[in-house]
Structure 1
Amino acid sequence: MASKSDQPSQLVKYGLTAKILYHLLAFMDGYDIQSLSVCMRAFEISLGLSPSSLAWMASVEIVSLVACGTIWGYLADFYKIRYLLCIAMNLVGLSAIGIGCASNYALIMFLRVVHGAAMGCTAPAIQQIVTGATDKDSYGTAFGIIHAVSCFGRLVSAILITSVAIKVPFGKIYGWRICYIAVGIVWILLGALMAIYLDSADESNITIEKEPNNIWETLRAIFRTWTSIILLFAIFISDAPFAAFTYMILYLQYLGLSDLEAGVACALTLLGGLLGGGFGGFAVDMCHKKSTRYGRLIAGNAIMLLRLSVTLAFFLGPLPQNGLSWYHYVEIILLGSSLMTVSAIDRPIMGAVVEKKYQASATGINRCIAGILSSLTFLPLAGLLTEMAFGYQKSQLPIDQLEENVRSTNSDALRKAMMFIIGIGTVINTMCYIAFFFTYPKDSAETEERENEVVSI
């Protein structure tokens, strides 16, 4: 007789309103995450913060987000998801409004911690909603739509907030403050709608028993193979380009691009990521079908070579004169598309070397460990390199009022810091993918054998 966990589960059926709400949640998640990076120059001008201070601000929020994501995920397994989302979204909204009103750095840092902790609820919540309401054969389409909606939110944030962040439309109130207060109100309203409408009549009929894995058993499963250990390091290193891109808009603004042009350029990296995730993922799967042992690894190294080449071309090539040239746009899109390895390479490798019953826990723990380490490493490193190694000069003046030598020095410092972090990170990532050639075929085969033995018992 099959156990309860072996019995097919009934899919939760959400109505149209509920579906719109959790897709809107994905949009707001992307919008909010992008808002910090596009406000960098506005914070520098209005609050007098240096790049290192901005880096620490971003670091504490990201650490709070990835650390608390594991807690929200645990709670989501045992409590009504709509009430958890209501609580989390109200915290996000209130902290966003507080950030929009605050000027004290210590207070802003505290609010960033609260904001990040509450934002940590969105990813596990969406994961549970989509997997609970979607047949396994449709996961790709469902998560693809969620990803597209999130990227669209990032695009809107990059263009909209960048264009108004340093403007002062109402007396002495900066545009970024108005944006934060407005988005905070939207979060609170969305939280109330979630509590009322994100429900399902058949939710109580789900028959699967939820049995949390023992933490030590899960950790042993994650680090059973050399591939898993190397993969944790690879996931950590893969965050390097994302940390460097935090300064991309500020760099382009120092090169003389308007706020709108810089926002559009940033949006193109997101467009590249969207295209890379779709077409690139398909190409990687084609390589895997050609060689189940080495296909993904060959594709991963090819993408790393592309990223390194484009990085050197963009940062060492001709600088923009009166705007970006067509080849700059191509390079930015290609850089964005090369970031798809996190989804199309790393996650399939984890799926092959970690047993299926530990996949969710392994993914959460890896993301938490790697996310905290990368936040404490790459963002502060970017700030220190920019200021101490490459001579960035802090200023509260608008960029167009700075002396030419200051603009040149600051743009050069940002360029070198970003190139260093992306370039070195890509080289180390390539070394990890090369190391997989010696561990992945054996580890994936042994993991498959263990799963087959369990099935045959």
Structure 2
Amino acid sequence: MADALILGRSTPRAGALTVGLCCLVTLIEGFDLQSAGVVAPRLVSIFNLTPGQLGLFFSASTMGLLIGAAFGGRLSDRVGRKKSLIVSVALFGLMSIFTGLANSFEVLLLARLLTGVGLGAALPNLIALVAESTAPERRASAVALLYAGLPAGGALASLFTLVGAESHHWSTIFITGGVAPLLVVPLIWAWLPHSSTASAKQGGGRVRSVPTALFGEGRAATTLILWLAFVLGLLVLYLLLNWLPSLVIARGMSRADASWVQFVFNLGSALGSTATGLLMDRWGKAATAALVFSASVAALILIAFVPSNLSALVFAGFFLGVALAGTQAVLYALAPSCYPADVLGTGVGAAVSMGRFGSVLGPMLAGTLVGAGRSDVEVLVALIPILMISGGAATILSLRIRSA
């Protein structure tokens, strides 16, 4: 199996504009995704949430992400990336505002589910657009830069707590996260070029079925390995994204301390993703995958056993963010390499959607463990074998792509 995507023919200016707009959208996506974790301690007291209900709240948006990614990627292959992206961005903006207006736990769950649908539908479009608009020798760096927008947006969400911007009402962060994408929609409409794939479809290109796109032409093993890596990798990531503040507070730290740890986690994630992309373009995906997944295991061990003081937790949180973001950058850079251009959205969307099973299971797993009386150390240690399996799958897939 070869590195299947054969594009990167856009002009440098158009390519840079596409990458810039897509990174802006992922920055806003990251802000919205992290908002739930930032306000979770306040929601517990306002809505009297149990640990199980808190897990459902976190999982609602990721369930929506699963649904949205499955349909958004396929839709982008059929009607074009630009149209699909505009609809997706508008949807998650409106539904984020709806979240901020919720007055009951049931409405809160529905709003987060629909927000996730929009977020999930946008992500395969963003990855496909960036992959299609950059040259092969810079593609891994571009996709990693795109992914860096997610933790960078999460860092901005954490700053809301640090500067007290959401101190008057918990809804402020969700309404802000909803207005921002609605302001970006006109920019996408005016400046984002139409995808070459959509143009090819209009010219009468053959449309492959979903089973053929994912499992035909020798792609079955590649697709299954990719899915395994995504499911387990995102299980670990989303558990930490949503539960890290609560786990830090469980150590006797203050809410402000927990916000600092989450802030440096996201800051490290943005830097780690960007650095991983550069390493992939220089060293190759296989060596980089082995490095960043090994570093992530070490980081989990460090944050599990580090002393309960702010300086130590900030250092450990930063290191964990750098390493874990590297694993995600590897996965998102691998996905476009597995499928040809005319089914790129379908393939990437399916991988992202499958990964959302892990995103749903992660917060629920943490809620179950915490509800059963497990300590923060036990929760973190339980993630190590899961991460090792994901890393093994990513490394094997990297070698398959390189040797094809």
TM interval, shorter chain, is 0.7 to 0.9
Structure 1 residues 7-29: Cα deviation after superposition (integer angstroms, max 9, x where no partner): 99665975999886554323211
Q: Is the 8 A contact 2:232 2:386 kept in 1?
A: yes
Q: Note closer, same or farther for the CA distance 1:94–1:145 as it changes in structure 2 (3 Å cut).
A: same
Tell me which residue corresponds to 2:234. 239
Aligned counterparts of 1:283 and 1:8: Cα–Cα separation in 2: 20
Aligned-residue sequence identity (percent) comes to 17
- Is 1:425 the counterpart of 2:386 in the alignment? yes
- Name the structure 2 match of 1:338: 323
Are residues 317 and 137 of structure 1, via their aligned partners in 2, closer, same or farther at CA, if it must alter by over 3 Å? closer
Rg comparison, structure with higher value: 1
Question: Is the Cα contact below 8 Å between 1:265 and 1:332 reproduced in 2?
Answer: yes
* Cα distance in structure 2, aligned partners of 1:65 and 1:309: 29
* Aligned match of 2:361: 377
Q: Kindly tell me: are residues 158 and 223 of structure 1, through their superposed partners in 2, closer, same or farther at Cα, counting changes over 3 Å?
A: farther
Could you say which residue in structure 1 is the equivalent of 2:307?
318
Give CA deviations for 1:363-397 in whole Å, capped at 9, x if unaligned: 3222212322x13422211101101243xxxxxxx
Q: Secondary structure at the match of 2:370?
A: helix
Matched to 2:185, the amino acid is G
1:350 deviation in Å? 5.9
Find 1:307's aligned residue among 296, 319, 323.
296
Deviations 1:84-137 (A, max 9, x none): 444433332332222212121111111112111122232233335435554555
Q: What does residue 31 of structure 1 align with?
A: 31
In the aligned structure 1, how far is the partner of 2:94 from the partner of 2:298? Answer: 44
Quote the Cα distance in structure 2 between the aligned partners of 1:203 and 1:427: 38
Residues 82 and 194 in structure 2, CA contact (< 8 A), matched pair in contact too: no
Aligned: 1:104 with 2:75: no
Classify 1:159/1:366 alpha carbon distance in 2 versus 1 (closer, same or farther; 3 Å).
same
Distance 1:92 1:381, change over 3 A: same
Where does 1:193-342 land on structure 2 (aligned, <5 Å)? 193-195=187-189, 197-198=190-191, 206=199, 209=203, 210-221=205-216, 224=219, 226=221, 228-245=223-240, 246-283=242-279, 288=284, 296=286, 300-320=289-309, 324-325=310-311, 327-342=312-327
Cα separation, 1, equivalents of 2:194 and 2:223 = 40
**3-state secondary structure, aligned to 2:103:** coil
Rounded to whole Å, the distance in 1 between the matches of 2:340 and 2:332 is 12
Alpha-carbon distance in 2 for matches of 1:311, 1:22: 31
Cα distance in 1 between the residues matched to 2:328 and 2:197: 33
Q: Find the aligned partners of 2:77 and 2:286 in 1 and give their Cα distance.
A: 33
The residue type equivalent to 2:121 in the other structure is C
Paired amino acid for 2:178: G
Conserved in 2, the CA contact under 8 Å of 1:38 and 1:162?
no
Moved more, 341-350 or 97-106: 341-350
Alpha-carbon distance in structure 1 between the residues aligned to 2:328 and 2:208: 24
- Cα pair 1:69 1:117 within 8 Å, conserved: yes
Unaligned 5+ residue runs, structure 2? none
**2: CA distance between counterparts of 1:57 and 1:9?**
43
Higher relative contact order at CA 8 Å, sep ≥6: structure 1 or structure 2? 2
What is the rounded CA distance, in whole Å, between the counterparts of 1:239 and 1:59 in structure 2?
12
**Counterpart-to-counterpart distance in 2, 1:8 and 1:105:** 46
Q: Give, in whole Å, the separation in 2 of the partners of 1:424 and 1:26.
A: 29
TM-score, with length taken from structure 2? 0.80
Question: Cα distance 1:216–1:17, how it changes in 2: closer, same or farther (>3 A)?
Answer: closer
| TM norm structure 1 | 0.72
Correspondent of 1:416 among 374, 378, 388: 378
Looking at structure 2, the residues matched to 104 and 142 of structure 1 have their Cα atoms a distance apart, in angstroms, of 41
After TM superposition, give the deviation of residue 252 of structure 1 in Å. 2.3
For residue 180 of structure 1, report the CA deviation from its aligned partner: 1.8
Moved more, 99-108 or 211-220: 211-220
Q: CA RMSD in A?
A: 3.9
1:161 is displaced (CA, Å) by: 4.1
Q: Which amino acid aligns with 1:388?
A: A
Cα distance in structure 2, aligned partners of 1:303 and 1:415: 22
Q: 1:226 to 1:166 in 2, by over 3 A?
A: same
Contact 1:11 1:206 in 2 (8 A): no
1:366 to 351, 355, 360: 351
| Amino acid aligned to 2:286 | R
Pairs within 5 Å for 1:109-128: 109-128=109-128
